[in-house]
């Protein structure tokens, strides 16, 4: 197990990966070690050396404990995810964020432990089974394979590939919605902003300020069978805040299973997710 190392300047390290939690969250590094130890006593095992994910999970989990949430299934999912891959770990962190927001808002939310021999939903929110799909932005990885186009003078071809890649959001969403046909869950929750550099949270905030989009909530919304919930947490590190205050946007997307297309509830001039 990896034990976090705290330094007096506010840095906390998991292996070679570190973050200054004093500068980002206003939390003393020694106090964070106490939070970590509190979670270890409840069963946390830290094996993946990624400071951002480990610190985020610890802070969200600590808030959940303070609110009286049963953390046992969530800890089990997070521990298991660390043995798999980075995407699985991000999925577990997204589950943690959902639990925080829904539990704080007064919803009854339960994490379903993964069963190796059967398909299970990820969550149950007020008796509605829910599956979480986390969008993984692979644009940078894709474009690394096409860097030679720039050096050979084929800039337009390079940027055509780039813009096609960043327009993949609706395709991802459609694929996730169609996967709902597995009957694994009644409701789908789609996390738009796995990586903060996609700026989905701030893009939505801009749309709201400019009044070019509606139907978006700053509070968790009810899980409804047959629909998709859009979840966009604020994952950026805000050095102006100096406090741990998680924020997110929420919205519904309707899907016509027979036509295999999104049901657009806004006029064509407004941005679509």
What tens digit of pLDDT does each residue of 132-189 get? 988 765 565 666 678 788 778 888 887 777 666 655 555 655 665 665 545 678 888 9
Q: Are residues 179 and 266 in the same domain?
A: yes
pLDDT recorded at residue 266: 45
In the 8-state DSSP scheme, what is residue 218?
S
- Rounded to whole angstroms, the Cα distance separating 164 from 47 reads 36
Task: Give the CA-trace dihedral at 59, 64, 67, 73, to 10 degrees.
Answer: -160
pLDDT recorded at residue 228: 82
Q: Are residues 70 and 98 in the same domain?
A: yes
Q: Are residues 250 and 126 in the same domain?
A: yes
What is the value of pTM for the model shown?
0.81
Q: What is the DSSP pairing of strand 216-217 with strand 187-191?
A: unpaired
Q: Are residues 126 and 63 in the same domain?
A: no
Whether 257 is covered by a domain: the verdict is: yes
pLDDT tens, residue by residue, 173-188: 566 566 554 567 888 8
Which regions of the chain are under pLDDT 70?
A: 136-144, 162-183, 193-199, 212-213, 238-240, 254-273
pLDDT recorded at residue 6: 96
Round to the nearest angstrom and report the end-to-end CA distance of the chain: 40
Asked if 129 and 109 count as a contact pair (C-beta separation under 8 A), the reply is: no
Q: Are residues 7 and 127 in the same domain?
A: no
Whether 156 is covered by a domain: the verdict is: no
Whether 150 is covered by a domain: the verdict is: no
Q: Are residues 12 and 87 in the same domain?
A: yes
Q: Are residues 91 and 131 in the same domain?
A: no
Whether 61 is covered by a domain: the verdict is: yes
Whether 158 is covered by a domain: the verdict is: no
CA-to-CA dists, residue 2 to 51, 60, 72, angstroms: 11, 19, 20
Closest CA to 134 of 3, 231, 199: 231
Whether 114 is covered by a domain: the verdict is: no
Q: Are residues 130 and 62 in the same domain?
A: no
Whether 126 is covered by a domain: the verdict is: yes
pLDDT recorded at residue 105: 97
Whether 29 is covered by a domain: the verdict is: yes
Q: Are residues 89 and 182 in the same domain?
A: no
- CA 120 centroid distance within chain: 19
Q: By residue range, what is the domain housing residue 175?
A: 121-136+169-273
- Rounded to whole angstroms, the Cα distance separating 29 from 209 reads 36
pLDDT recorded at residue 75: 97
Between helix 51-66 and helix 86-104 the angle, nearest 10°, is: 30
pLDDT recorded at residue 43: 96
pLDDT recorded at residue 83: 87
Number of domains in the chain: 2
Q: Are residues 88 and 218 in the same domain?
A: no
Closest CA to 239 of 16, 9, 3, 24: 24
pLDDT recorded at residue 194: 57
Q: Are residues 86 and 131 in the same domain?
A: no
pLDDT recorded at residue 230: 84
Q: Are residues 185 and 56 in the same domain?
A: no
């Amino acid at each position: 197990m990896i034990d976090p190392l705290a330094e007096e300047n506010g840095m906390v390290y998991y292996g070679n990966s570190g973050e200054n939690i004093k500068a980002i969250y206003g939390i003393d590094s020694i106090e964070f070690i106490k939070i970590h130890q509190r979670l270890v006593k409840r069963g946390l095992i830290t094996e993946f050396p990624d400071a951002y994910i480990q610190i985020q999970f610890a802070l969200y989990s600590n808030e959940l404990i303070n609110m009286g949430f049963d953390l046992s299934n969530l800890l089990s999912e997070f521990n298991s995810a660390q043995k798999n891959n980075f995407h699985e770990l991000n999925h577990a962190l997204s589950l943690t964020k959902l639990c925080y927001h829904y539990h704080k808002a007064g919803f009854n939310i339960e994490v379903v432990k993964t069963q190796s021999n059967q398909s299970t939903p990820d969550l149950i929110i007020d008796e509605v089974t829910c599956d979480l799909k986390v969008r993984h932005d692979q644009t940078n990885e894709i474009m690394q394979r096409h860097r030679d186009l720039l050096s050979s003078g084929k800039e337009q071809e390079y940027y055509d590939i780039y813009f096609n890649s960043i327009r993949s959001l609706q395709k991802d969403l459609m694929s996730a919605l169609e996967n709902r046909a597995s009957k694994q869950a009644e409701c789908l929750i789609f996390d738009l902003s796995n990586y903060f550099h996609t700026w989905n949270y701030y893009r939505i905030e801009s749309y709201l300020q400019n009044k070019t989009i509606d139907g978006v909530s700053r509070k968790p919304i009810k899980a409804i069978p047959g629909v998709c919930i859009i979840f966009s947490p604020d994952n950026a590190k805000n050095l102006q805040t100096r406090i741990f205050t998680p924020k997110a946007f929420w919205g519904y997307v309707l899907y016509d299973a027979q036509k295999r297309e999104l049901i657009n509830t806004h006029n064509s001039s407004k941005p679509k997710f």
